[in-house]
């Protein structure tokens, strides 16, 4: 069976994790965490970067930093992972879902403004598949209505919009290093931002509401409980495993990109024949080969395709079931405007196997079977 995803196996990561253990520093903010922080800052150009225990937790931190209060409204797409909404629901917000664009599956920047009310506090954008949202327009709306912008860049490491790294355009950017993402520490993530005023608050939030980070830097002689917070810092063992990959981030990127490009070129003829749609990368967006998806005609055809590929030892998966249709989505949110594309497009989408080190023969097999499926259809 060709798996949809295989988490990165990093010999270097193992070595570094052992090193963290031998150094007797396995809790948070050790040498490897610091290396990851430096890498994140350098790679994105953000002034501040902190590893977290997950992207979900990075989003939670951003909700607190953005000052979300009970009763505030937060605008986001419905086509996203549950965490995007969860983090803001925990802060007491009401979620206002708006429709997506069919080409990128990202929030439709032209439908945001109509969803703004006096209670709207923030917009959360999701850069689906590491392809940037239309940030110029979104930032202009945010400016006009004094809204915070949080970028769920869980899938967006090493991707950019008009030359700016995803995660650095809005107020806060959140990455995921879950094992399904391009770089992984098992469970983990990061928050990045630029404003000095947020730095102290972020450190306190991440360290259980204490100013322990300041204490460790020798800036104060004892630390105390100064505000509310949680424990958002990951173990240095996990950071060490991640560091083994960030060190060779370009190699991992190139490898994934080669696989992505192979699919994209090889499946062109199926698109030209009108069978499928391939992903669209708008001008100005540089993606990171996080995901290769295609769109079938409809739900029925997608189910047939997934089944056919499975019979041929290929594991493919669909993606998000729109949040507004889930029980919690109905409880905590509402959909503003008409759901033109969210449900329809999500039902057509299927993701193909793509991971670091995937065998070219496996890619060829997937393409061959994709073609066989559609050619079989046209004949019968
Ligand atoms: C993976 C993902 C998350 C959650 O990341 P965790 O690190 O597992 O918390 C959130 N949002 C999006 C868009 C994701 O793809």
Nearest-CA residue for atom 6 of ligand 1: 55
Residues 196 and 162 in one domain: yes
Sorting pLDDT into bands at 50, 70 and 90, what band is 377?
Answer: confident
CA of 113 to the centre of ligand 1 (A): 26
Rg (CA), the chain: 21
CA of 216 to the centre of ligand 1 (A): 30
Residues 221 and 325 in one domain: no
Report yes or no: 350 and 298 within 8 Å, Cβ to Cβ.
no
What tokens were used for 182? 């391009």
Last residue of a domain, one of 246, 281, 309: 246
Residues 210 and 347 in one domain: no
Report how far residue 322's alpha carbon sits from residue 335's, in angstroms, rounded to the nearest whole number.
10
Nearest-CA residue for atom 2 of ligand 1: 154
Return the pLDDT at 92: 98
Site of tokens 């990959």:
245
User: Looking at the domain assignment, is residue 362 inside a domain?
Assistant: yes
Q: Percentage of residues in the chain with pLDDT exceeding 70?
A: 99
- How far is Cα of residue 166 from the mean position of the Cα atoms in its chain? 10
Alpha helices in 323-359 (DSSP H): 327-332, 342-346
Report how far residue 184's alpha carbon sits from residue 188's, in angstroms, rounded to the nearest whole number.
7
Report yes or no: 190 and 60 within 8 Å, Cβ to Cβ.
no
Residues 21 and 129 in one domain: yes
Please name which of 353, 355, 326 lies closest in space to residue 79, comparing C-alpha atoms.
Answer: 326
Q: Output DSSP code: residue 109.
A: G
Is residue 193 predicted with pLDDT exceeding 70?
A: yes
Residues 277 and 228 in one domain: no
Provide the β-strand partners of residue 174: 152, 191
Query: Which CATH number characterizes residue 315's domain?
Result: 3.90.1150.10
Number of domains forming the structure of the chain: 2
Residues 339 and 222 in one domain: no
Distances (CA, A) of 126 to 99, 107, 136: 12, 7, 15
User: Looking at the domain assignment, is residue 190 inside a domain?
Assistant: yes
User: Looking at the domain assignment, is residue 369 inside a domain?
Assistant: yes
Site of tokens 């729109």:
322
Which atom of ligand 1 lies at the shortest distance from residue 181's CA?
A: 1
User: Looking at the domain assignment, is residue 232 inside a domain?
Assistant: yes
Report how far residue 178's alpha carbon sits from residue 189's, in angstroms, rounded to the nearest whole number.
7
Report how far residue 46's alpha carbon sits from residue 206's, in angstroms, rounded to the nearest whole number.
18
Is residue 148 predicted with pLDDT exceeding 90?
A: yes
Sorting pLDDT into bands at 50, 70 and 90, what band is 378?
Answer: low
Last residue of a domain, one of 189, 221, 246: 246
Residues 156 and 266 in one domain: no
Return the pLDDT at 138: 98
Report how far residue 99's alpha carbon sits from residue 233's, in angstroms, rounded to the nearest whole number.
34
CA of 221 to the centre of ligand 1 (A): 37
In the predicted model, what is the mean pLDDT of residues 155-179?
Answer: 98
User: Looking at the domain assignment, is residue 19 inside a domain?
Assistant: yes
Is residue 118 predicted with pLDDT exceeding 50?
A: yes
CA of 81 to the centre of ligand 1 (A): 6
In the predicted model, what is the mean pLDDT of residues 35-54?
Answer: 98
Domain span holding position 293: 249-379
Is residue 380 predicted with pLDDT exceeding 50?
A: no
Return the pLDDT at 379: 57
User: Looking at the domain assignment, is residue 5 inside a domain?
Assistant: no
Query: Which CATH number characterizes residue 119's domain?
Result: 3.40.640.10
Mutate to test the pocket of ligand 1, among 89, 125, 155, 180 (most ligand atoms within 8 A of CB): 155
Which atom of ligand 1 lies at the shortest distance from residue 54's CA?
A: 7
User: Looking at the domain assignment, is residue 4 inside a domain?
Assistant: no
Is residue 167 predicted with pLDDT exceeding 70?
A: yes
Q: Output DSSP code: residue 172.
A: E
Last residue of a domain, one of 191, 213, 246: 246
Please name which of 116, 114, 110 lies closest in space to residue 133, comparing C-alpha atoms.
Answer: 110
Report how far residue 341's alpha carbon sits from residue 120's, in angstroms, rounded to the nearest whole number.
23
pLDDT tens-digit series, residues 46-84: 999 999 999 999 999 999 999 999 999 999 999 999 999
User: Looking at the domain assignment, is residue 335 inside a domain?
Assistant: yes
What tokens were used for 115? 């969803």
CA of 14 to the centre of ligand 1 (A): 24
Alpha helices in 179-298 (DSSP H): 196-206, 212-216, 236-246, 249-266, 268-272
CA of 15 to the centre of ligand 1 (A): 27
Report how far residue 186's alpha carbon sits from residue 93's, in angstroms, rounded to the nearest whole number.
29
Residues 180 and 277 in one domain: no
In the predicted model, what is the mean pLDDT of residues 153-159?
Answer: 98
Is residue 325 predicted with pLDDT exceeding 90?
A: yes
Residues 226 and 253 in one domain: no
In the predicted model, what is the mean pLDDT of residues 312-332?
Answer: 97
Mean pLDDT computed over every residue of the chain: 97
Pocket of ligand 1 (CB under 6 A): 54-56, 80-81, 83-84, 126, 152, 154-155, 176, 178, 189
In the predicted model, what is the mean pLDDT of residues 254-276?
Answer: 98
Burial degree of 202 (CB within 10 A; 0-12, 13-18, 19+): buried
Residues 217 and 257 in one domain: no
What tokens were used for 98? 């708006």
Return the pLDDT at 376: 85
Report how far residue 302's alpha carbon sits from residue 350's, in angstroms, rounded to the nearest whole number.
7
Please name which of 345, 337, 346, 342 lies closest in space to residue 96, comparing C-alpha atoms.
Answer: 337
CA of 52 to the centre of ligand 1 (A): 12
- How far is Cα of residue 4 from the mean position of the Cα atoms in its chain? 17
Residues 146 and 217 in one domain: yes
Site of tokens 């009763």:
71
Residues 206 and 302 in one domain: no
Q: Percentage of residues in the chain with pLDDT exceeding 90?
A: 98
């Amino acid at each position: 069976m060709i798996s949809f995803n295989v988490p990165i196996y990093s010999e270097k990561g193992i070595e570094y994790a052992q090193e963290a253990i031998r150094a007797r520093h396995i809790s948070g903010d050790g040498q490897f965490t610091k290396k990851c922080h430096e890498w994140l800052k350098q790679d994105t150009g953000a002034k501040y970067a902190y590893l977290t225990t997950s992207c979900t937790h990075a989003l939670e931190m951003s909700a607190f930093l953005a000052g979300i209060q009970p009763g505030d409204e937060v605008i986001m797409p419905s086509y996203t992972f549950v965490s995007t909404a969860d983090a803001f629901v925990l802060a007491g917000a009401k979620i206002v879902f708006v429709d997506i664009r069919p080409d990128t599956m990202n929030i439709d920047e032209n439908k945001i403004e109509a969803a703004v009310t006096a209670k709207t506090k923030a917009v959360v954008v999701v850069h689906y598949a590491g392809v940037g949202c239309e940030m110029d327009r979104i930032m202009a709306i945010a400016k006009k209505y004094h809204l915070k912008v949080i970028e769920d860049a869980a899938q967006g490491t090493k991707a950019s919009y008009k030359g700016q790294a995803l995660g650095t355009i809005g107020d806060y950017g959140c990455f995921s290093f879950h094992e399904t993402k391009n770089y992984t520490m098992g469970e983990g993530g990061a928050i990045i931002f630029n404003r000095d005023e947020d730095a102290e608050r972020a450190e306190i939030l991440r360290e259980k509401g204490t100013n322990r980070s300041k204490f460790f830097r020798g800036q104060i002689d004892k630390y105390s409980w100064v505000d509310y917070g949680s424990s958002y810092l990951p173990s240095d063992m996990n950071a060490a495993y991640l560091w083994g990959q960030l060190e060779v981030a370009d190699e991992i990127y190139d490898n994934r990109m080669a696989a992505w490009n192979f699919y994209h070129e090889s499946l062109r003829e199926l698109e030209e024949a009108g069978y499928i749609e391939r992903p669209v990368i708008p001008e100005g967006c540089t993606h990171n080969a996080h995901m290769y998806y295609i769109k079938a005609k409809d739900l029925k055809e997608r189910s047939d395709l997934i089944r056919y590929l499975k019979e041929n030892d290929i594991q493919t998966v669909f993606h998000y079931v729109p949040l507004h249709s889930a029980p919690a989505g109905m409880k905590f949110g509402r959909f503003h405007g008409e759901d033109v594309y969210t449900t329809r497009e999500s039902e057509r989408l299927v993701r193909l196997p793509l991971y670091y080190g995937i065998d070219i023969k496996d890619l060829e097999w997937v393409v061959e079977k994709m073609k066989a499926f559609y050619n079989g259809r046209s004949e019968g």
